[in-house]
Amino acid sequence: MIPLTIAQLARAVRGQAVLADGDSSETVVSGTVDTDSRLIARGDIFVAKPGEETDGHLFVGAAAEAGASVAIVEHPVEGAALTQIVVPSAVDALADLARTVVEQVREGGALRAVGITGSNGKTTTKNLLARILEGEGETVSPKASFNNEVGAPLTMLRVTDDTKYLVSEFGASAPGEIARLAGLVEPDIGIVLMVGMAHAGGFGGIEATFMAKSELVRSIRPGGLAVLNADDARVAAMAKIAAERGVDVLWFGRGPDAQVRADDVVVTASGTSFQVTAGGVSAPLKLRVLGEHHVMNALAAIAAATALGVSLADCIARLETVEIAERWRMQPLGSDRVRIINDAYNASPDSMAAALRTLAQITGPDERTVAVLGAMSELGEHAEEEHDRVGLLAVRLGIKRIVVVGQDARRMYLEAVAQGSWDAEAVFFATADEAFEYLKGELRDGDRVLVKSSNSAGLRFLGDRLGESFS
């Protein structure tokens, strides 16, 4: 975090400072801000956030012992040898502090902020864009999927006076969350990837999801830029919102009208090749991240980067160094003998379909497709129908072995059986351990195995175990 006095910090979070011995209101603090006491080092700022499973106030003492200079708390903690700033809400204080820090850095330098949202692809696009921008100057972007009311502000608080680019990822499970987070930075550029069924249960349906994702476009500062998916009708409809705010639109997509476009797409087991056009210039790109669906994520990153002045040639050179989007996202494991694709960090109907299609595309005629599938979360009343659709798609794509894991995913298995995969082509296991024992004996040379589920299903660890077993 940028240097602030304790007085400035208290004003930023609308709190009251309780000074420790040796501190004054003019004492300067500038350490990293975190809600995890285990990550606190000397000079850092600990935010004691109450949680569902534990309370950060229980760890203020541990943070002090680790060398924290300040703790932001909702009530004073007795016996903790550090300055405490008492606030009504630790989460709100975190947001207020992030807003203040970003505003100060903007005033003193040339910081440009990019926000990313969409039902799928946010983390991959964030990583691709960050890889491009890091070659231009200091770039701050989220670790993993830091995109919620805690993770997004923590990312923003990593900016310094030397930061040139801030890339923020905005996720949400309810209306208003993206508006609140994006409002902390008022991005210069907002990227909307797609409007799909992810988190539809929380939003209340696809149209409510559209309204929630459009909150990012409404948060772009006047004179800024909306980077929109021309191939998604709901995202394209956000151009009207952009116009109302005095925000220009840059289109990306696979169609001929997109300003940043992909042509001649070829998908293989080692990546995806395509011809990319941006700013009237065309060049070939070989993306090593598996999956045709990542073409759109790469186009979105290129669109934002070129709008910030990066050449297409530099965009391509840097993207071609990316091997995986992130751990547990289309991550190749195993060996050439048995290839495991671990994509079980997140899942929605759209990403599940894209992953299954990728599995079918990259498997040769003498190889066998195996899909290990778990539940998709946060679909609400749409859950049964969407799990049925996945089972149907797996059969239609000719997946040779469909392994469904977990009671919440059982509908996939039942639908696959109903569609004709009843002679051991589809199997069901209640637990990941049972599925692992089956797969250890079932997998053979030439198999290409997809492991796909929402994070809550825990199949990412099954994917890791399979990767190690067949490495």
Report the Cα–Cα distance between both ends of the chain, in Å, rounded.
42
Contact 10, 17 (CB under 8 A): yes
The binding site comprises 118-124
Which residue, 219, 217, 312, is CA-closest to 261?
A: 312
Q: From residue 100, give the alpha-carbon distance in Å to each of 96, 112, 138, 162, 449.
A: 6, 15, 20, 16, 47
Going along 153-215, which residue ranges are E strands?
165-169, 189-192
**CB neighbour list of residue 393: distance below 8 Å, 6 or more residues apart:** 352, 353, 356
Q: How many whole angstroms separate alpha carbon 9 and alpha carbon 25? A: 9
Contact 251, 257 (CB under 8 A): yes
The residues facing 373 across adjacent strands are 404, 452
Residue with structure tokens 């090593």?
A: 288
Contact 192, 118 (CB under 8 A): yes
Alpha-carbon dihedral angle through residues 354, 356, 357, 359, given to the nearest 10 degrees = 120
Q: How many whole angstroms separate alpha carbon 371 and alpha carbon 451? A: 6
The binding site for ATP comprises 118-124
Number of CB atoms found within 10 A of residue 273's CB: 16
Q: How many whole angstroms separate alpha carbon 234 and alpha carbon 224? A: 20
